[in-house]
Structure 1
Amino acid sequence: MTIREARPADVPVILQLIHDLALYEREPDAVKNTVESLEDALFGDRPTIFAHVAETGGRVQGFALWFLNYSTWEGVNGIYLEDLYVRPEARGAGHGKALLGHLARIAAERGYARVEWSVLDWNEPSIRFYEQLGARPQSGWSTFRLTGSALAEAAAL
């Protein structure tokens, strides 16, 4: 298994894995992303996201897509893991653990304060996996989101 930075040629497979993740998360029609949009976000003039892939035998088995966040209290960046996904047939072989370990090394090497992410409450297999790695849920916090008409209304304030 190899963990490496994503390349432009990986974009179509990463997008397919994003679709697979949406299906797993019970939102099969929610993905609006395109190859062009994802490629621009990863490799355009002003990249806003980063991705690493887990590869075995030349086949991408999973990916981690992330971006930088910032802790005003710590005064340093952190990594926000937007998506971590491993193909069902490749699960249990260490791909997810290797991807998270790689992100943790990036954070440690760069002096970042943390690696954090969200997980759906019902996703017990992932929750157990994360807890086995030493990750802990953040109690006392709720995720809020502005989207659709609420976003448009807030933008008009």
Structure 2
Amino acid sequence: MIRTATPDDVPVLHALVRELAAYEKALDEVVASEEQLREALFGERPAAYAHVATADGGGEVVGFALWFLNFSTWRGVHGIYLEDLYVRPDRRGGGHGKALLAELARICVERGYERLEWSVLNWNAPSIAFYESLGARPQDEWTVYRLTDGALARLGTAGDRLGA
């Protein structure tokens, strides 16, 4: 069963984020608190959205999809960027991941969004095979860039020196 996350789900969502980060060998990079997640999802101006997969007719949360809107200047419409998709290892193979992606695809179709996109680690062969089995294709001509921490702060405070 897939449902929209509620504020009561924040503790389990936070735990699942940490599990995902551990799986991706990056647990030490998780600094977000439950309160930050609650504010991002359910604050006055939500910046992100989440759906959860539950086991056995609505009980235990076993996976989640956390996403936000992006915009394509080429298509002129919004799309969904899937930030995180995670299903607990002991629950994989039960259709939860596919159901979460299908729900996001349904939202795209319903709202006229023309893209559902995400990133996957190059070494994550099981996930890549799963995504490709659904018809997703890698965007091989694009490389993701990211500014964080000191580099972001340096550029963000360089405005005065750059004449901005």
Pairwise TM-score range, normalised by the shorter structure: over 0.9
SS of the residue 1:142 aligns to = coil
Please state whether the residue corresponding to 1:29 is helix, strand or coil: helix
**Counterpart residue number, 1:124:** 125
Gaps of 5+ in 1: none
Report the alpha carbon displacement of residue 74 of structure 1 after superposing the two structures with TM. Answer: 0.4
Give the aligned residue type for 2:26: E
1:66 counterpart residue number: 67
Q: Deviations over 1:21-65 (max 9, x none)?
A: 000000121111111110000000010000000011310010000
Distance in structure 2 (CA, Å) of the matches to 1:56 and 1:34: 25
Question: Which residues in structure 2 correspond to 1:144-155 (within 5 Å)?
Answer: 144-155=145-156
Q: Deviations over 1:115-140 (max 9, x none)?
A: 00000000000000000000000021
Letter in 1 for 2:83: E
Residue 65 of structure 1: SS of its match in structure 2? Answer: strand
**Cα RMSD, aligned residues only:** 0.6
Structure with greater Cα Rg: 2
Q: Which residue of structure 2 aligns with residue 100 of structure 1?
A: 101
Q: TM-score, normalised by structure 1?
A: 0.98
- Matched residues, percent identical? 63
Amino acid at match of 1:12: P
1:4-43 alignment, distance < 5 Å? 4-43=3-42
Long gaps (5+) in structure 2: 160-164
